[in-house]
Amino acid sequence: MDIAKVIAAELKIKPTQVETVIKLIDEGNTIPFIARYRKEMHGGLNDEVLRDLEERLNYLRNLQERKDTVLSSIEEQGKLTAELKKAIEEAMTLVAVEDLYRPYKQKRRTRAMIAKEKGLEGLAAWLMLQHSSHSAEEEAKKYLDEEKGVSTIEEALSGAKDILAEEISDNAEYRTRIRNVSWKEGVLVSEAKDKEAASVYEMYYDFKEPVAKMSGYRTLAVNRGEKEKVLSVKIDAPEEKIITYLEKNTINGNDPVTEPYLKEVCEDAYRRLIKESIERDIRNELTEQAEDGAIEVFGKNLNQLLMQPPIAGLVVLGWDPAFRTGCKLAVVDETGKVLDTKVIYPTAPQNKVKEAKQDVKALIKKYGVRLISVGNGTASRESEQVIVEMLHEIKEPVQYVITNEAGASVYSASKLATEEFPNFDVGQRSAASIARRVQDPLAELVKIDPKSIGVGQYQHDMNQKKLGEALGAVVEDCVNRVGVDLNTASASLLEYVSGINKSLAKNIVSYREENGSFKSRRELLKVSKLGPKAYEQCAGFLRILNAKNPLDGTSVHPESYAAAEKLITKLGYSLSDLSGGGLPGIAKAAKDTAALAKDLEIGEMTLKDILKELEKPGRDPREDMPKPILRSDVLGMEDLTEGMVLKGTVRNVIDFGAFVDIGVHQDGLVHISQMCDHYIKHPLEVVSVGDIVEVKVLSVDIAKKRISLTMKGI
């Protein structure tokens, strides 16, 4: 199998591009590094295509490895024919390889094996020959043998049929055809084990859906219901059609003596040996497709959440709302340093609203707080009411923002949070995290396991290794796209930088603590265990502000410094000009980039990237994303009326719609059918997490806490 050709055809790119990327990956280069600093080599493929390429490369290499194992095993048995070898080598999926290997695989003792031990293979061959001159009973008499345990004609015929049934069930061509028919024409059926029991799976109590039309979220819901023993699930395949197909390929119609036996064999082969395993294959494939779809949605949501623009330069009060244990507050300065913490009790059962307001007003005055970041968990609505009342009572220009606190409790109880805030309790740590999430969402959210960030669906039901790897790749891409301040970044942030792992990240922080701030990128080579390869991979993504060489504060890679300096001089600027906020107009000054790139001995794509960076060094790509909605007033569900138009923030996108925060504590649902006037396959075609959207209220159910919204006709 030519892996490069296969991937090129799938991704619709050139085989030479694939070959180059494979070589770069095998040399130990990371995807962010390949995407950003090796564009000329692979023709400017973006990180999404590169991730897909890497995933397919791993799959196809595993497939090739399995093929080699299978071929070796069959060859050792002395059963490898040229035809079988060709079929295995041309197989494009692991399922196809396993189907071909099935007859040669070591099995537990089966009925067919026992029948063979009893010497009944000859009788099976006679039945299959379909050329009888006497009755089957007469032929079976020849195989009666008390010592081998064949006492009756029925036992002999039954054993022979078992041998044939297993041969049919092991036929790769039959299994492929049956799997395809079951997929195209099968129906997934789920039923309640107890129809009277109330549960979240009630819509699946009497559910039927063609296998080919099963949506991912329904597959995952049915799987969970089955796992929780609420549902029983099966696939109804077109049995008669399948058995007729087996008969057609087994019976030649020329022998009325053997035909009834072979009909029994075909039925037994399907019902006893094929049906269950094909159903399992289909359920696995449905689950895999559903997981892949859910992971993709989770990844896109996570990307949007991590790339939310920071609200910089403000002192923020983090507010972790609660009832009985009180609301935890943490004031953080513009750099995220915690200045003060407090616990107040404005909510039930204490209801000390007056005292709480006084405490918060004092903190606002003392530290110059300009923004309150309120977690959206339990008691958020009640806290919001108190905040709005208080904002009306003070002169200071303070606003508030509702912040998604998913994962804050996971972080606050983690070893990392304990190391960061050894003298704080979990509530104070959580409040500090909620404050920092608005100052720099990316830097704060990388401290939390991506699976706990709450922007997906059914994340606990899927392959955790696969989910973890996919989400880790999303975080890695986001961190490297934004770039990292080498002198302020936490170890949690540094470990996502290209070429840096957990231990190197800790070594960088330790070096910084012992030697003070890094003065240059080259100084990274003094960090314990950080060698030339790791330096090559990470240097371009790490920034040093106010460094002696201004290029250290940009995304220009040290390998291109000589070319960049020559370029700056050639276009009439000086390196020191870069420190003053960039070289505006330098991109326009570089008229013939092809000739200029040749002169500088660098690629044209690299040149364009350098020019863009020199024009606006360290530009944060998050600036282009929608800013969070800052509020100064509050609405309740009871204030909503049908037809009311509001601005809201998309909190989560799932297969059937999006949840939008419209400032009433309870997120409203925009169903996929209410997103736009034309048909869309998935809500992500229209909205992403963090988007600010205009919505109209369709209906409000206060009892069930449901708000239906639309984005149409506004």
For residue 565, being part of any structural domain is answered with yes
For residues 599 and 649, membership in a common domain is answered with no
For residues 561 and 532, membership in a common domain is answered with yes
Q: Kindly report the CATH number assigned to the domain that includes residue 667.
A: 2.40.50.140
For residues 583 and 676, membership in a common domain is answered with no
For residues 320 and 435, membership in a common domain is answered with yes
Conformational region of residue 264, where left means phi above 0, alpha means psi within -120 to 50, and beta covers everything else: alpha
Each residue of 29-51: pLDDT tens digit? 999 999 999 999 999 999 999 99
- Residue 142 is given by DSSP the state T
- The distance from CA 83 to its chain's CA centroid, rounded to whole angstroms, is 40
Q: Kindly report the CATH number assigned to the domain that includes residue 577.
A: 1.10.150.310
CB 37 within 8 A of CB 557: yes
**What are the two backbone dihedrals, phi and then psi, of residue 657, each rounded to the nearest 5 degrees?**
160, -160
For residue 274, being part of any structural domain is answered with no
Q: How confident is the model at residue 615 (pLDDT cuts 50, 70, 90)?
A: very high
Q: Which amino acid is at 442?
A: L
For residues 111 and 65, membership in a common domain is answered with no
Rounded Cα distance between 235 and 213, Å, is 13
Tell me how long the chain is: 714
State pTM to two decimals: 0.86
Percent of the chain topping pLDDT 90: 84
| pLDDT at residue 513, as a whole number | 96
| pLDDT at residue 183, as a whole number | 97
For residues 569 and 643, membership in a common domain is answered with no
Rounded Cα distance between 303 and 473, Å, is 10
Query: Of 170, 205, 221, which residue constitutes the final position of a domain?
Result: 170
For residue 480, being part of any structural domain is answered with no
Average pLDDT over residues 132-141: 95
Each residue of 242-278: pLDDT tens digit? 999 999 999 999 999 999 999 999 999 999 999 999 9
For residues 320 and 434, membership in a common domain is answered with yes
CA angle at residue 578 from 572 to 584, to 5 degrees? 65
Rounded Cα distance between 356 and 398, Å, is 17
For residues 332 and 367, membership in a common domain is answered with yes
294: exposed, middle or buried (C-beta count within 10 Å: 0-12, 13-18, 19+)? Answer: buried
For residues 661 and 559, membership in a common domain is answered with no
For residue 378, being part of any structural domain is answered with yes
Q: Kindly report the CATH number assigned to the domain that includes residue 8.
A: 1.10.10.650
**What are the two backbone dihedrals, phi and then psi, of residue 391, each rounded to the nearest 5 degrees?**
-60, -30
Average pLDDT over residues 681-708: 92
Each residue of 311-341: pLDDT tens digit? 999 999 999 999 999 999 999 999 999 999 9
Average pLDDT over residues 22-29: 98
Residue 130 has pLDDT above 90, yes or no: yes
By C-alpha distance, which of 285, 338, 336, 259 is closest to 94?
A: 285
Q: How confident is the model at residue 487 (pLDDT cuts 50, 70, 90)?
A: very high
For residue 326, being part of any structural domain is answered with yes
Each residue of 550-607: pLDDT tens digit? 999 999 999 999 999 999 999 999 998 898 788 999 999 998 999 999 999 999 999 9
For 189, the 3-state DSSP assignment is: strand
Query: Of 623, 651, 676, which residue constitutes the final position of a domain?
Result: 623
Task: Give the start-end residues of each E strand in 358-490.
Answer: 371-375, 399-403, 484-485
Number of domains in the chain: 5
For residue 198, being part of any structural domain is answered with no
Average pLDDT over residues 657-669: 89
| pLDDT at residue 579, as a whole number | 82
For residues 619 and 644, membership in a common domain is answered with no
Q: Kindly report the CATH number assigned to the domain that includes residue 370.
A: 3.30.420.140
For residues 609 and 531, membership in a common domain is answered with yes
| pLDDT at residue 634, as a whole number | 66
Query: Of 85, 118, 144, which residue constitutes the final position of a domain?
Result: 85
State the residue range of the domain holding 677: 637-710
Rounded Cα distance between 322 and 382, Å, is 9
Please provide the DSSP assignment of 636-697 as one string. Answer: -GGG--TT-EEEEEEEEEETTEEEEE-SSSSPEEEEGGGS-SS--S-GGGT--TT-EEEEEE
Mean pLDDT estimate for the chain:
94
CB 295 within 8 A of CB 470: yes
| pLDDT at residue 407, as a whole number | 83
For residues 516 and 589, membership in a common domain is answered with yes
Rounded Cα distance between 456 and 652, Å, is 7
Q: How confident is the model at residue 618 (pLDDT cuts 50, 70, 90)?
A: confident
For residue 329, being part of any structural domain is answered with yes
Q: Which amino acid is at 247?
A: E
For residue 541, being part of any structural domain is answered with yes
| pLDDT at residue 197, as a whole number | 93
Highest mean pLDDT among 223-237, 444-458, 621-635: 223-237
Q: How confident is the model at residue 291 (pLDDT cuts 50, 70, 90)?
A: very high
